[in-house]
Amino acid sequence: MNTRIRRAVKARGHFPNEQAALKCVYMAIMSLDPIGKGQVRWTMRWKTALNAFDITFDGRLSAARQ
């Protein structure tokens, strides 16, 4: 996961503000498992990070999982 996030951030270069950087990380995370097949295993390892992103992005992450 860290590699995918690093690759997405590195490809973008710079960000005009913090919101743009968070959106880039959010999109990289969502592209890892867009259909949710490995979600149970993946969610257990990243529960803390997912909760932080869920708070930051006002429930969009939990809405995508349903």
Give the tokens for residue 58. Answer: 């006002």
Specify whether 23 is located in the same domain as 3: yes
Overall domain count for the chain: 2
Specify whether 3 is located in the same domain as 20: yes
Q: Whole-angstrom Cα distance, residue 26 to residue 31?
A: 9
Could you tell me the residue range of the domain that residue 24 belongs to? 1-32
- pLDDT per residue as tens digits for the range 8-66: 888 988 899 989 988 888 888 878 766 656 666 666 777 788 788 888 888 676 665 55
Block residue for tokens 């949710």: 36
Specify whether 28 is located in the same domain as 39: no
Are residues 1 and 35 in contact, defined by beta-carbon separation less than 8 angstroms?
no
Specify whether 23 is located in the same domain as 43: no
